[in-house]
Amino acid sequence: MLVFCETKDGKIRKPSLEALSEGRRLADAAGKSLGALFVGADLAGAEEAAQYGADAIIKVEAPSLAAYSSDGYAQAIADAVQAKGATVLLAAATSAGRDVAPRAAARLGAGYAADVTGLAMVDGRLEATRPVYAGKAVSVNRFESAVQVATTRPNVFVAAPCPKAGAVESLPAPAGGFLAVVKEILAKGGGAVDISEADVIVAGGRGLKDGANFAILQELADALGGVVGASRAAVDAGWGLPHSIQVGQTGKVVSPTLYIACGISGAIQHVAGMSGSKVIVAINKDPEAPIFKLATYGIVGDLFEVVPELTKAAK
Ligand code: FAD
């Protein structure tokens, strides 16, 4: 089995560690060995994979892979799967994982399950559980292909240390001449955590009435070590909120430990993006708001009074 791992600032990204830990569990169940696969130009930090269950650390390292390239990375991953004779390939359902895993699957003629929330080995093959119809139903997928590929939803699987040998091995990189490469990344928001990886999200909707009022959500998020998210109505309102923090069907799917929905009604398209949160707190002045049907804890009240009180308590 192989798990495609992403690094950032010399460390393996948390969703990749989660995929790796789940890979370890599956490999043990199937009696297979587990390789952590890294692609790039500078793979410092890859050795950490040994602490999370990798029997082998496989590096595809070349200057041509310094910048992310959909077809370049997909080819490198597909080549590695073939070189190692892997039958299962996992990646985290991050932006890059969602982009590259189905491309690698297509190159391998493999079946692909996106954004899975449960995995098992049944009769030597992967079985993948994933939410469908905006989270209203769950589908259990079995593969007929020899190679099986899946991306794991961040914050669903647990990253658990499990030291292994982690022997390092290098594989040749695909020849260059890729069709597309990322030339530049313009970071917005000073390196804030991507909401799809956040453990605590304080989200605001149209009930905030103005973009400037999101400052009170930021204060609560800071006090809880979390990040701010938003409904589509808030993002579309022209309040200067970036689409990158939109939660929902046409935004990001999040599954934090704690999701605090402030002034959000709970439309089905919003719920599709956050119903997997472990604890949901809803603050809304309308006791009939649909969000309360979903909430673990509901506070009927004016968010402009409740949120500062929560911040005070959290501090
Ligand atoms: P509203 O529905 O207007 O709710 C505002 C809430 O704030 C109300 O419940 C109100 O009682 C409460 N409120 C007001 N003032 C206060 C106060 N002072 N204190 C406490 N509570 C207060 N939506 C998304 O979020 N994400 C998506 O990805 C998304 N994708 C969509 C895709 C499609 C194809 C379509 C058709 C729609 C999509 N939507 C999406 C939009 C969705 O249908 C809703 O319109 C949207 O989620 C509503 O946002 P809201 O809850 O912030 O606003």
Judge whether residue 226 has pLDDT over 60.
yes
**Residue identifier of the C-alpha nearest atom 18 of ligand 1:** 302
Give alpha helix (H) positions in 64-121.
70-84, 95-108
Residue 190: predicted pLDDT:
47
Please, are residues 149 and 93 in contact by the beta-carbon 8 Å criterion? no
Judge whether residue 212 has pLDDT over 80.
yes
Q: Name the residue among 220, 199, 200 with its Cα closest to residue 303.
A: 220
* Helix and strand numbers, DSSP H then E, in the chain: 8, 17
Q: How confident is the model at residue 181 (pLDDT cuts 50, 70, 90)?
A: confident
**pTM of the complete model:** 0.82
Residue 189: predicted pLDDT:
55
User: Which helix (DSSP H) or strand (DSSP E) does residue 24 occupy?
Assistant: helix 14-30
- The yes/no answer to whether this complex scores an ipTM above 0.95 is yes
188-209: per-residue pLDDT in tens? 654 567 898 899 999 999 999 9
Ligand 1 center–CA 178 separation, angstroms: 42
Which residues, 6 or more positions from 253, have their beta carbon under 8 angstroms from its beta carbon?
93, 115, 153, 196, 247, 272, 273, 274, 276
Q: Is 151 annotated as a binding residue?
A: no
33-78: per-residue pLDDT in tens? 999 999 999 998 999 999 999 999 999 999 999 999 999 999 999 9
> What's the mean pLDDT in 255-263?
96
Residue 222: predicted pLDDT:
96
> What's the mean pLDDT in 235-242?
96
Residues with CB under 6 A from ligand 1: 205-207, 231-234, 246-251, 263-265, 267, 269-270, 273, 283-286, 289, 302-304
Classify residue 291 by burial, with Cβ atoms within 10 Å: 0-12, 13-18, 19+. buried
Atom of ligand 1 lying closest to residue 204 CA? 52
Q: Is 25 annotated as a binding residue?
A: no
Judge whether residue 255 has pLDDT over 60.
yes
Residue 187: predicted pLDDT:
67
Distance between CA 173 and CA 72 in Å, rounded? Answer: 9
The chain-wide mean pLDDT, for the chain, equals 94
250, 275, 305, 307: residue to mutate for ligand 1 pocket, most atoms within 8 A of CB: 250
20-37: per-residue pLDDT in tens? 999 999 999 999 999 999
Q: Is 103 annotated as a binding residue?
A: no
Ligand 1 center–CA 270 separation, angstroms: 7
**Residue identifier of the C-alpha nearest atom 9 of ligand 1:** 265
Ligand 1 center–CA 304 separation, angstroms: 17
Atom of ligand 1 lying closest to residue 266 CA? 51
Q: Is 231 annotated as a binding residue?
A: yes
> What's the mean pLDDT in 135-144?
91
User: Which helix (DSSP H) or strand (DSSP E) does residue 308 occupy?
Assistant: helix 303-314
Judge whether residue 97 has pLDDT over 80.
yes
